[in-house]
Structure 1
Amino acid sequence: MNFLKNMGWTVPATLAISSTTAFADVTPEDVWALWQDYLTSSGYEVSADTSTSGNVLIVDNLTLSMDHGEDMGGFSAQMGTMTFSDNKDGTVQIGFADNMPLTMSMTDGEEPLDLSMVVSYIGLDMVASGVPTNQKYDFTADNMKLALTEVVVDGEAVENASFSMDFAGSKGTSSLAIAGDMIETMQAMTSGAITFTGAFSEPGEGSMNVSGNFADTMLSTSASLPITEEPSSDPLAMFYGGMQGTTKFTSGVSTVSLSGQDNDGPFQMDVSAASNALEFDMDSDHIRYDTGAESIAMTMFGGGIPFPLSFEMASTSTNFEMPLSRTETPAPFALGVTFADLSVPEMLWGMIDPTGQLPHDPATVSINIGGTATLFGDLLSEDVMESDDIPGEVNTVTVENLLLRIAGAELTGAGAATLDNTDLTTFDGMPRPEGSLSLKLVGGNKLLDTLVGMGLVPEDQAMGARMMMGLFAIPTGDDQLESTLEINAEGHILANGQRIQ
Structure 2
Amino acid sequence: MAIACAAPALAEVTPEQVWENWLAFSQSSGQTVTTESVERDGDTLVVTGMKMAIAQEGVTGEGSIDELRFTDQGDGTVAVTMSETYPFNLTIAPAEEGEGPTSLTIEVRQPGLSIIASGDKAETAYDFSGPEITVALTSIEGVDAEAVDVTAEAKLSNVAGKYLIVPGENESTALNSSFTAQSLVLTVNGTDPDPTPADGETGPSTLKVNVTMADMEATTNGNFLSAAAMADMAAALKAGFASDGTINTGATTYDMEVTDATGVTKITGKSATNSIGFSMDATSLSYSGGATGAELSMSGPEIPFPQINLAYAEAAFDFLMPVGATEAPADFAFLTKIVDMTISDEIWGMFDPTGQLPRDPATIVIDTKGTATLTTDLMDPAAMEALGDQAPGELNSLDINELRAKIAGAELTGNGALTFDNTDLVTYGGMPAPTGKIDLKLVGGNTLMDKLVAMGLLPEDQVMGFRMMLSMFANATGEDELSSTLEFKDGGFFANGQQLQ
TM range (shorter): 0.7 to 0.9
1:18 is aligned to: none
Q: How do 1:2-401 residues align onto structure 2 when only pairs under 5 Å count?
A: 23-52=10-39, 54=41, 55-67=44-56, 72-89=57-74, 90-107=76-93, 110=96, 112-153=101-142, 157=146, 159-178=148-167, 182-202=172-192, 203-205=194-196, 206-226=205-225, 231-232=228-229, 234-236=231-233, 237-261=235-259, 265-302=263-300, 304-307=302-305, 308-387=307-386, 388-389=388-389, 390-401=391-402
Instruction: Give the Å deviation of 1:45.
Output: 4.0
Distance of aligned partners of 1:75 and 1:493 in 2 relative to their CA distance in 1, 3 Å threshold: farther
TM-score scaled by structure 1? 0.88
Structure 1 residues 276 and 171: alpha-carbon distance in aligned structure 2, compared to 1, 3 A threshold: same
Query: Is the Cα contact below 8 Å between 1:224 and 1:242 reproduced in 2?
Result: yes
- Which segments of 5 or more consecutive residues in structure 2 lack a partner in the other structure? 1-7, 197-204
Report the CA distance between 1:401 and its aligned residue. 0.9
Instruction: Provide the rounded CA distance (Å) in 2 between the counterparts of 1:398 and 1:212.
Output: 39
Q: Which letter does structure 1 place at the counterpart of 2:292?
A: E
Higher relative contact order (CA 8 A, sep 6+): 1
Report what 1:5 is aligned to.
none
Change (3 A) 1:107 1:424: farther
Q: 1:46/1:418 Cα in 2 relative to 1: closer, same or farther (>3 Å)?
A: farther
Partners of 1:43 and 1:381 lie apart in 2 by: 23
One-letter identity of the residue aligned with 2:363: T
Find the aligned partners of 1:108 and 1:286 in 2 and give their Cα distance: 35
SS in 2 for 1:172: strand
1:442-486 deviation line (CA, Å, top 9, x unaligned): 111111122222332222122112111111100111111011112
Distance apart, 1:109 and its partner CA: 7.2
Which deviates more from structure 2 when the two are superposed, residues 397-406 or residues 448-457? 448-457
* 110-119 vs 310-319, which moves further: 110-119
Equivalent residues of 2:31, 2:52 under 8 A apart: no
- Structure 2 distance, partners of 1:415, 1:115, is 53
Two-structure CA RMSD over aligned residues (Å): 2.5
| AA at the equivalent of 1:191 | A
In structure 2, what is the Cα distance between the partners aligned to 1:22 and 1:298?
57
Q: List per-residue Cα deviations over 1:82-104 (Å, max 9, x = no partner).
A: 41322341322222222211112
For the Cα contact (< 8 Å) 2:163–2:175, is it kept in 1? yes
Listed one character per residue, the Cα deviations across residues 58-105 of structure 1 (whole Å, up to 9, x for unaligned) are: 1424223244xxxx4354332323413223413222222222111123
Spell out, residue by residue over 1:265-312, the C-alpha distance to the aligned partner (whole angstroms, 9 max, x if none).
431111210111222221121111221111000000125211111011
Q: Call closer, same or farther: CA 1:449–1:160 in 2, change over 3 Å.
A: same
Is 1:51–1:57's contact at 8 Å kept on the other side of the alignment? yes
Shift of 1:433: 2.5
In 1, Cα distance between equivalents of 2:144 and 2:462: 61
What's the CA shift string for 1:368-391, capped at 9, x where partnerless? Answer: 122112222221123135444432
Letter in 1 for 2:497: G
Q: For 1:113-137, what per-residue CA distance to the aligned partner results, in whole angstroms no more than 9, with x for missing partners? A: 4321100122211121221111121
1:498 aligned residue: 498
Instruction: State the one-letter code of the partner of 1:248.
Output: T
Check conservation: 1:92, 1:128, Cα contact below 8 A: yes
How much has 1:41 moved relative to structure 2?
A: 2.9
Paired residues in the alignment total 474
Q: Which moved more, 1:46-55 or 1:126-135?
A: 46-55
CA distance in 1 between counterparts of 2:15 and 2:95 reads: 39
Compute the displacement of 1:231 (Å). 4.7
* Residues 246, 477 of structure 1: alpha-carbon distance in 2 compared, 3 angstrom cutoff: same
Q: Compared with structure 1, are the counterparts of its residues 46 and 243 closer, same or farther at alpha carbon in structure 2 (3 Å cutoff)?
A: farther
Distance in 2 between the 1:209 and 1:411 partners?
43
- Unaligned residue ranges in structure 1 (runs of 5+): 1-20
C-alpha contact 1:279 1:291 (8 A) present in aligned 2: yes
1:310-366 CA-partner distances (Å, limit 9, x unpaired): 011111011001111111112111111110000112232233333332221100011
Give me the whole-angstrom Cα distance separating, in 1, the residues matched to 2:147 and 2:400. 49
Check whether the contact 2:218–2:246 (CA below 8 A) recurs between aligned residues.
Answer: yes
Deviations 1:224-272 (A, max 9, x none): 225x6x9546242333211212212111110122221467643111121
TM-score by length of 2: 0.88
Matching residue of 1:14: none
Q: Take 1:113 and 1:385, find their aligned partners in 2: how far apart are those partners?
A: 36
Q: Take 2:394 and 2:259, find their aligned partners in 1: how far apart are those partners?
A: 48
Whether the 8 Å CA contact 1:366–1:403 is kept in 2: the answer is yes
